[in-house]
């Protein structure tokens, strides 16, 4: 039954699209087979740079965002300045559009010509993504940390673990496991946003496809880029689903037998 | 020869008299078969000319007037404004019968209906571009050029091969990108920017050593955008001679008439004269 309904549903949509008055124009402008074959290899090569950017950024973000989340959760009046700084950081970088952060860091900081500060546009583009996404991810971590029941911490402390040991061995392992799906969700967003580094002149997949589009007055190269991004993000999404399902199985193991 | 000259002179005189005798005295005489009435226009009696906003020197001049930024296309000043009015005049439009429409240049080649009769914003003709739009004959032949900060090492370069060791920047969708990759072949791939402003920012941040851009744009970069900029030099013409064409809707019935108007402007020296007047000269040619 599901097969029939699926075929009927998508068949109907396909028919509507193909029979639309503007379809031949759209087909020529977006789905030019020859141009697709011609531009795909260059775009795929440029896509390696996107992969490099997000792999480096994701590793740094995992650590940096956790640090921010932990700092924000430090108890007691002594740590107020630290908590305030972490809060301001998260507010600021979640509030400013990513494009602006990239421009400000990529062209602004570098134009200061400070001695010892790198001027590479690739470096600053990646830093901008790290700063923006760490702000989001730190909030995800914080939600995870706060979801661990206080009794867990109390129990750990009563066993003689220090505050750091409690965090390290009791709270964070549980917190991280709970937030893996939203964490990966943010990473999918990050992977797509690597295209924004192109603003600084870096020729990555999106910029390469833009170059091809402007040379041919045809949008087919954008479809190449879309396919490459989907090829990376869809497996990650399915992997997330699988992780969640596995976790569920483990937690329910025994209970539902 | 003298007789020939006399005959031509008389013919011109006669044509002029005919025009003043038959039509609106303020309307310029149109090319035969290419008058206002013979054209398929967006708006009857008006030539709608599209260009990008901001409109800037040396292509547009005059004081800034809303909705236009930096310059005012209606001024008739600046090379492209002057060319547009000269073409309009060849087709029998008065200055008042020309309306300017702001439109981002990338939209001039979008498939589908176009909101202009002719469009000009330093658009180079490329065969691929002619798939979704028609191009008139050239109204300007373009050289590429290199700009840099004065005093930087690249500013001393005298040859094309001397550019190879430098990191260059280009604006997306310009011929400069092709030119750099095919003829300069730098050791590092050029950076590609969304706009000339971004390329200039990167130059100021020392992320690139020089910007390759068509020669007519160098005046704006060096005089307006850079604090201490120099034109390193003009690059020799390579491959197909690049030119700017007026963009028309795909397969426009007006193309033949527009081309006749442009050809006339070349033949009677108007274009040469306008180039001399509006587009800066100078800058050495790199070998």
pLDDT at residue number A76? 87
pLDDT 10s digits, A181-201 = 899 889 999 999 999 999 999
Instruction: State the nearest Cα–Cα gap between B134 and chain A, in angstroms.
Output: 12
> Percentage of chain A surpassing pLDDT 70?
98
Assign A202 a pLDDT band (cuts: 50, 70, 90): very high
Judging contacts by C-beta atoms under 8 Å, the chain B residues touching residue A23 are none
Assign A241 a pLDDT band (cuts: 50, 70, 90): confident
Element (H, E) at B144: strand B144-149
Q: Which of residues 90-129 of A touch B (CB under 8 A)?
A: 106-107, 110-111, 113, 119-121
Q: Which residue of B has its CA nearest to A30?
A: B111
Judging contacts by C-beta atoms under 8 Å, the chain A residues touching residue B111 are 25-26, 28-29
What are the beta bridge partners of residue B212?
B146
8 Å CB contact of A119 and B207 = yes
Class of residue B19 by CB neighbours under 10 A (exposed 0-12, middle 13-18, buried 19+): middle
Instruction: State the nearest Cα–Cα gap between A117 and chain B, in angstroms.
Output: 12
Assign B26 a pLDDT band (cuts: 50, 70, 90): low
Q: What is the CATH number of domain A52-204?
A: 1.10.3720.10
Distances (CA, A) of B213 to A231, A243, B199: 36, 51, 10
| Sheet order of strands, B144-149 included | B191-193, B168-171, B210-214, B144-149, B229-234
Q: What is the mean pLDDT of residues A38-67?
A: 95
pLDDT 10s digits, A209-227 = 999 998 888 899 999 999 9
ipTM confidence? 0.80
Q: What is the mean pLDDT of residues B248-262?
A: 95
Judging contacts by C-beta atoms under 8 Å, the chain A residues touching residue B194 are 198-199
pLDDT at residue number B27? 61
User: B106 at the A interface (CB within 8 A)?
Assistant: yes
Give A28 or B246, the one with higher predicted confidence: B246
A38 contacts: CB under 8 Å, gap ≥ 6: none
pLDDT 10s digits, B50-84 = 999 988 878 898 998 889 988 999 999 999 999 99
Judging contacts by C-beta atoms under 8 Å, the chain B residues touching residue A111 are 201, 204-205
**Helix, strand or coil, per DSSP, at residue A65:** helix
Start-to-end C-alpha separation, chain B: 42
B222 backbone dihedrals φ, ψ, rounded to 5° = -70, -40
Instruction: State the nearest Cα–Cα gap between A177 and chain B, in angstroms.
Output: 41
Selecting from B177, B199, B201 the residue whose C-beta is nearest the C-beta of A211 gives B177
Q: Which residue has the tokens 């002057």?
A: B82
Start-to-end C-alpha separation, chain A: 31
Q: What is the mean pLDDT of residues A53-81?
A: 94
Q: What is the CATH number of domain B31-140+244-278?
A: 3.40.190.10
Instruction: State the nearest Cα–Cα gap between A202 and chain B, in angstroms.
Output: 6
Judging contacts by C-beta atoms under 8 Å, the chain B residues touching residue A218 are 128, 131-132
Residue of A26, A46, A213, A214 to mutate when probing chain B, most B C-beta within 10 A: A214
Judging contacts by C-beta atoms under 8 Å, the chain B residues touching residue A215 are 126, 128, 173, 177-178
Q: Which of residues 127-186 of A touch B (CB under 8 A)?
A: none
CB B170 within 8 A of CB B180: yes
> What architecture (CATH level 2) is domain B144-234?
3-Layer(aba) Sandwich (3.40)
Domain boundaries, chain B: 31-140+244-278, 144-234
pLDDT at residue number B25? 46
Residue B135 has pLDDT above 60, yes or no: yes
Assign B238 a pLDDT band (cuts: 50, 70, 90): confident
């Amino acid at each position: 039954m599901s097969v029939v309904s699926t075929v009927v549903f998508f068949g109907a949509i396909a028919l509507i699209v193909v029979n639309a008055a503007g379809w031949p124009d759209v087909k020529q402008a977006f789905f030019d087979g020859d141009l697709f074959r011609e531009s795909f290899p260059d775009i795929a090569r440029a896509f390696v740079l996107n992969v490099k950017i997000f792999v480096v950024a994701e590793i740094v973000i995992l650590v940096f965002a956790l640090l921010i989340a932990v700092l924000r959760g430090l108890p007691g009046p002594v740590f107020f300045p630290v908590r305030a700084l972490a809060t301001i950081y998260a507010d600021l970088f979640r509030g400013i559009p990513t494009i602006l952060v990239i421009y400000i860091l990529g062209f602004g900081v570098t134009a200061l010509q400070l001695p010892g500060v790198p001027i590479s546009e690739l470096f600053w583009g990646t830093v901008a993504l790290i700063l923006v996404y760490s702000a989001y991810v730190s909030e995800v971590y914080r939600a995870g940390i706060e979801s661990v029941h206080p009794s867990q911490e109390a129990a750990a402390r009563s066993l003689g673990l220090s505050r750091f040991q409690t965090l390290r061995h009791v709270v964070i392992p549980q917190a991280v496991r709970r937030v893996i799906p939203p964490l990966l969700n943010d990473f999918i967003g990050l992977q797509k946003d690597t295209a924004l580094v192109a603003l600084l002149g870096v020729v990555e997949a999106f910029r390469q496809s833009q170059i091809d589009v402007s040379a041919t007055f045809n949008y087919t190269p954008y479809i190449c880029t879309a396919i490459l991004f989907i090829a990376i993000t869809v497996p990650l999404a399915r992997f997330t689903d699988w992780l969640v399902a596995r976790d569920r199985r483990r937690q329910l193991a025994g209970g539902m037998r | 020869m003298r007789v020939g000259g006399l005959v031509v002179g008389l013919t011109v005189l006669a044509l002029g008299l005919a025009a003043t005798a038959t039509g609106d005295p303020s309307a310029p005489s149109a090319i035969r078969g290419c008058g206002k009435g013979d054209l398929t226009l967006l708006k009857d009696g008006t030539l709608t000319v599209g260009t990008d906003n901001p409109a800037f020197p040396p292509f547009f001049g005059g004081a800034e007037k809303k909705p236009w930024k930096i310059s005012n296309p209606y001024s008739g000043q600046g090379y492209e404004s002057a060319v547009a009015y000269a073409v309009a005049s060849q087709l029998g439009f008065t200055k008042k019968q020309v309306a300017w429409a702001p439109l981002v240049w990338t939209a001039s080649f979008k498939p589908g209906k176009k909101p202009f009769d002719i469009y000009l914003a330093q658009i180079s003709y490329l065969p691929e571009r002619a798939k979704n739009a028609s191009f008139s004959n050239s109204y300007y032949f373009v050289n590429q050029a290199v700009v840099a900060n004065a005093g930087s090492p690249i500013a001393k370069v005298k040859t094309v091969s001397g550019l190879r060791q430098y990191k260059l920047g280009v604006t997306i969708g310009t011929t400069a990108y092709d030119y750099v990759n095919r003829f300069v072949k730098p050791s590092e791939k050029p950076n590609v920017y969304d706009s000339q402003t971004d390329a200039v920012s990167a130059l100021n941040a020392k992320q690139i050593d020089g910007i390759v851009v068509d020669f007519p744009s160098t005046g704006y970069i060096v005089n307006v955008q850079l604090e201490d900029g120099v034109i390193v030099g003009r690059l020799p013409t390579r491959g197909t001679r690049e030119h700017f064409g007026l963009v028309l809707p795909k397969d426009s019935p007006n193309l033949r008439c527009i081309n006749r108007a442009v050809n006339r402007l070349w033949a009677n020296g108007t274009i040469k004269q306008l180039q001399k007047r509006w587009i800066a000269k100078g800058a050495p040619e790199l070998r």
